[in-house]
Amino acid sequence: MSEPYLRSLRRLLLLVPVAVRAARQGRGVPLGRAVALTGARGVPELLADLESIRSLWVDPERAEDLVSLDVEDGEVHLLYAHELGRPVALSLAEGAVLLAALAPFEETAGKPVREAVRKLRKAIPEPLRPEAEQLVRGLDVVLAPTGPWAAALREAIAARLEVALEYRAVGDGVLARRTVEPRALFHRDGQWYLAAWNVEKAHEHLYRLDRIASVTTGTRVFGPHQASLARYAGKLYFESGAEREVTLRLGGVAARVARSNPALRLRENGDGSVSVVQRVTPGNYLAGAVLGWGGEATVEGPADVREGLRARVAELAARYADG
């Protein structure tokens, strides 16, 4: 959008709420008052504003104005294409999403955000508040990459500078040096990733930021590229051949979260739980996923995978036992 267009939009957004109140009383906003409210330099500029952003209000599916601001008999009149009624009540999950989205701003954004959070929490029925808070903690709302190397990588991406990474691979845990052309940072499933071109292997790779031990920015400038994050919308890995079809039984909040994901294959159980089939590699990742639900997830099968998890839990319990 051009700056003049944005200025017109800002001015008219100041006018809309006043025009709404006037419309409820069957009248418009006098042009002189509309000029004063918007800060326009006069009636001609106000009329030009109305004309310049007329297409903004059009609903593309219905080919009609969602909001119509027109001048008649020296007044600005507002009409909605659809009457505004009482807002639909939010579901528990929708309320949790709003709370999670506001949480990063609660301490720094001032009183309006704190008041919004307070009112949202108050609107949740008291018996459901613990479940809502658990949902909020389970939601993934991230504003920017974190960690000691995020700033250096952002600068290298912007300047198209080659960097050297010391990176600990997930497979063997060995620390190795990799020279890469950093392309994009993105967040998926609770982790930040760097998409970069591995210079030695001449291939694009993904690197988890929490596995980077150091970043050294070089001086070689590489050519422009187009890093589309759409390609990472699916899986972020290639199957190794060790994957298994594992059935998990989820209850409580875990079951609610699973039901909200249309991509999962679910089976409803008589006790209110759900069974989910996922293709994963048995091991620490699966153990972390199951234990992370705090007792609300168990492995139904296969039997050897269930036994492997039981043995791993016993090993961890022994390691952290007193004495």
Q: Is the residue at 30 inside a domain?
A: yes
Confirm whether 237 is domain-assigned: no
pTM for this prediction = 0.39
Residue 161, SS3?
strand
* Boundary of a domain, candidates 185, 203, 232: 232
Q: For residue 215, give Cα distances in angstroms to 165, 170, 174.
A: 5, 18, 16
The dihedral region occupied by 21, where left means phi > 0, alpha psi between -120 and 50, and beta the remainder, is alpha
In a domain, 169, yes or no: yes
My answer on whether 175 and 204 are in the same domain is: yes
In a shared domain, residues 72 and 97: no
Token pair in block for residue 97: 């999403």
CATH number at residue 180: 2.30.30.100
166-197 per-residue burial string, b: 16 or more CB within 10 A, e: under 16:
ebbeeeeeeeeebbbbbbbbbbeeeebbbbbb
Quick one: 10 and 44 in the same domain? yes
128 and 157: one domain? no
Q: Is residue 86 part of a domain?
A: no
Q: What is the CATH number of the domain that holds 62?
A: 1.10.10
pLDDT digits (tens, 9 = 90+) for 188-202: 766 788 888 989 888
Model pLDDT, residue 220: 93
Closest CA to 96 of 70, 68, 64, 129: 129
Measured over the CA atoms of residue 2, residue 4, residue 8 and residue 10, the dihedral's sign is: positive
Lowest mean per-residue pLDDT among 23-27, 215-219, 235-239? 235-239
Assess if residue 184 is contained within a domain: yes
Residues 134 and 154 in one domain: no
Rounded to an integer, what distance in angstroms lies between the CA atom of residue 302 and that of residue 297? 15
Q: Report the domain count for the chain.
A: 4
Report pLDDT for 181.
93
Range of the domain at 266: 244-319
Question: Does residue 85 belong to any structural domain of this protein?
Answer: no
Q: Is residue 60 part of a domain?
A: yes
Residue 310 lies in a domain: yes
Q: What is the largest CA-CA distance in the chain?
A: 88
Between residues 290 and 182, which one has the greater pLDDT? 182
- Are both 116 and 175 inside the same structural domain? no
